[in-house]
Structure 1
Amino acid sequence: MEHQEIIGTLAGIFTTVAVIPQIVKAVQTKKVNDISPVFFSVLLLGVGLWTYYGILKKDWPIILTNGISFLLNGFMLVFYFVTKEK
């Protein structure tokens, strides 16, 4: 793996796992009222587009890290709407 691929892969991993503590906390506490659904919607659109871009470029680090990020952020957004207090 070349230096550029290592940097890109590490960047993707770190940005992907950044949301995990928020997901864990929300699932444990079942409290999501302080979470912004707009933020997660915009983030979901962004990582979805990055995933598509990776597919077009056939760039596996981009595809995998952003695809996983899309799933995690999608889960968080769905979890928000399922558990938010009305």
Structure 2
Amino acid sequence: MDENILGLVAGAITSVAMLPQLIKVLKEKDVKDLSLVMILTLISGLSLWVWYGFLKDELPIILSNAFAVLVNICLLISYIIYRKK
């Protein structure tokens, strides 16, 4: 198997891991069970992976982590909008 295909498949699977959480938050408009620290940590770490992917010119790393950053940014925006004050 081509290592780029393997990287893309692995990245796609791990990148969609937060989609069910985002969908649940958007449906229920409830973020009480989310950790802001976890979301911020994920965004930071994933952003560093994207940067690393650019430095190494590795498309699977760039694409999968960039998608995961976008999902987690959407989760962060949802957290800000739906949190109880």
Smaller-chain TM-score bracket: over 0.9
Instruction: Report how many aligned residue pairs link the two structures.
Output: 85
Tell me the CA shift for residue 76 of structure 1.
0.3
Tell me the CA shift for residue 6 of structure 1.
2.4
Unaligned runs of 5+ in 2: none
- Counterpart of 2:55? 56
Give runs of aligned pairs for residues 28-39 of structure 1, distance below 5 A. 28-39=27-38
- TM-score (norm: length of structure 1): 0.92
Q: In 2, Cα distance between the equivalents of 1:36 and 1:6?
A: 33
- Counterpart of 2:44? 45
After TM superposition, the runs of 4+ consecutive aligned structure 1 residues lying more than 4 A away are none
Whether 2:64 is the aligned partner of 1:71: answer: no
Q: Deviations over 1:10-64 (max 9, x none)?
A: 2111111010000000000000011011111101111100000001111111111
Unaligned runs of 5+ in 1: none
- TM-score (norm: length of structure 2): 0.93
Superposition RMSD on alpha carbons, in Å?
1.1
